[in-house]
């Protein structure tokens, strides 16, 4: 585990994943610095941590260099859903590329170990199934998703080049679909979309036939794997798949949400977005062998927890203001 009061920087620390990571690191006795520009993150996500004397918050955009003294860096900063990363695609690419350069520069100066939160999107619309880390992917470099897909691929390149050229201690993980409480309610991702629509009694939107598949990892499992990998020896650099290998069609997900919410919502179909992957499932053999890790929370249990979170926000009017706006639109 981390030594007592290890100083850890979490970029994107007020986001969905970042807030859970900050919480877990504080529980382990770390001094945590959360940096976020609040484009998709929210102070609501970290409000319960603000009174902790070992938690600092900096409003900062990673495209600008940051000068702090730290032992570990988790680089999570980047909008991760299509509706957000396509809002300003040039800035999305800058966040991945310039952000990686700036955080790697900080790691080089401070001799900190640094972890890059990459993504399963580096595999694109995969021609290999399930996806192993050795697979190079099938990505459209000029499509509407390329700002995120190629930005993350370039970030991985930078991490490995800083490691080879400058000896920076790196870790690269590839995160597959992750869900849970504190998801941004208007991020356009299927889990939050379906839950908000079901709780509001609105039609649930399926893009394409609904037969495309995804694998859904509950946030607690993902954070556990992320921290375990950061704590491995410096010879283990990745890339490492982290996700739940259980594979479900989008239609199956929608039907599960309707059942668990008791909603009367009907399914409606819209055209499939450009370059949307038809299947996605991680091969987590490497993570199992290296970390003794596998997801513990099954989909129905995780959905039940996530539904309870959104239901509480919508019914009490507390927490993430965007949840209320999403239900009112």
pLDDT digits (tens, 9 = 90+) for 76-131: 999 887 788 888 999 999 999 999 999 999 999 999 999 999 999 999 999 999 99
For residue 125, being part of any structural domain is answered with yes
The pLDDT of residue 95: 95
Average pLDDT over residues 309-320: 76
Q: Quick one: 232 exposed, middle or buried, by C-beta within 10 A (0-12, 13-18, 19+)?
A: middle
- Distance (Å, rounded) from C-alpha 243 to C-alpha 119? 10
pTM value is 0.92
The pLDDT of residue 226: 98
Confidence of residue 318 (pLDDT cuts 50, 70, 90): low
Domain with residue 51: its CATH number is: 3.40.50.720
Domain hosting 112: range is 7-177+219-244+279-296
Average pLDDT over residues 34-44: 95
- Give yes or no for residue 305 having a pLDDT over 70: yes
Torsion of Cα atoms, 207 then 248 then 81 then 8, to 10°: 180
Of 54, 67, 123, 148, the catalytic one is 148
Average pLDDT over residues 228-241: 98
Q: Quick one: 301 exposed, middle or buried, by C-beta within 10 A (0-12, 13-18, 19+)?
A: exposed
Average pLDDT over residues 266-281: 87
The pLDDT of residue 82: 79
For residue 165, being part of any structural domain is answered with yes
Please count the other Cβ atoms lying within 10 Å of the Cβ belonging to residue 223. 22
- Give yes or no for residue 20 having a pLDDT over 50: yes
Answer yes or no: 123 catalytic. no
The pLDDT of residue 273: 81
For residue 41, being part of any structural domain is answered with yes
For residue 68, being part of any structural domain is answered with yes
Per-residue model confidence as pLDDT tens digits over 169-221:
999 999 999 999 999 888 888 999 999 999 999 999 998 889 999 999 999 99
The pLDDT of residue 276: 79
Average pLDDT over residues 30-51: 96
- Give yes or no for residue 323 having a pLDDT over 90: no
CB of 46 closer than 8 Å to CB of 86: no
Average pLDDT over residues 274-283: 87
| Three-state secondary structure call for residue 114 | strand
The pLDDT of residue 325: 41
Q: What is the chain's mean pLDDT, rounded?
A: 93
* Among 111-120, 138-147, 214-223, 267-276, the least confident range: 267-276
Percent of the chain with pLDDT over 90: 84
For residue 262, being part of any structural domain is answered with no
For residue 212, being part of any structural domain is answered with no
What's the total number of domains in the chain?
1
Residues ≥6 apart with Cβ < 8 Å to 265: 197, 198, 201, 202, 203, 204, 258
CB of 243 closer than 8 Å to CB of 176: yes
- Give yes or no for residue 329 having a pLDDT over 50: no
Please count the other Cβ atoms lying within 10 Å of the Cβ belonging to residue 94. 17
The pLDDT of residue 84: 87
Q: Which of 3-7, 59-63, 319-323 has the highest mean pLDDT?
A: 59-63
- Give yes or no for residue 326 having a pLDDT over 50: no
């Amino acid at each position: 585990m981390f030594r007592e009061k290890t100083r850890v920087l979490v970029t994107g620390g007020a986001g969905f994943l970042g807030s859970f990571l900050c919480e877990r690191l504080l529980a382990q006795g770390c001094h945590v610095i959360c940096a976020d520009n609040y484009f998709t993150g929210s102070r609501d996500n970290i409000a319960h941590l603000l009174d902790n004397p070992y938690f600092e918050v900096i409003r900062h955009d990673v495209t600008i260099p940051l000068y702090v003294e730290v032992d570990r860096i988790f680089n999570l900063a980047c909008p991760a859903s299509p509706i957000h990363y396509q809002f300003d695609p040039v800035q999305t690419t800058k966040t991945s590329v310039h952000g990686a350069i700036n955080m790697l520069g900080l790691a080089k100066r401070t001799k900190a170990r640094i972890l890059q939160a990459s993504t399963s999107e580096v595999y694109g619309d995969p021609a290999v199934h399930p996806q192993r880390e050795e697979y190079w992917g099938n990505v459209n470099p000029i499509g509407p998703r390329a700002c995120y897909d190629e930005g993350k691929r370039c970030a991985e390149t930078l991490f490995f080049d800083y490691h080879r050229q400058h000896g920076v201690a790196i870790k690269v993980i590839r995160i597959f679909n992750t869900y849970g409480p504190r998801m941004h309610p208007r991020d356009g991702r299927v889990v939050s979309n379906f839950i908000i629509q079901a709780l509001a009694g609105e039609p649930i939107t399926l893009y394409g036939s609904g037969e495309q598949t995804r694998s859904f990892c509950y946030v607690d499992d993902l954070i556990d794997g992320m921290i375990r990998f950061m704590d491995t020896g410096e010879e283990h650099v990745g890339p490492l798949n982290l996700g739940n290998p259980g594979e479900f069609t989008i239609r199956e997900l929608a039907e599960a949400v309707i059942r668990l919410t008791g909603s009367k919502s009907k399914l409606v179909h819209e055209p499939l977005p450009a370059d949307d992957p038809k299947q996605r499932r991680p091969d987590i053999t490497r993570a199992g062998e290296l970390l003794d890790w596998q997801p513990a929370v099954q989909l129905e249990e995780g959905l039940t927890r996530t539904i309870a979170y959104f239901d509480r926000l919508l019914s009490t009017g507390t927490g993430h203001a965007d949840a209320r706006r999403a239900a009112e639109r």
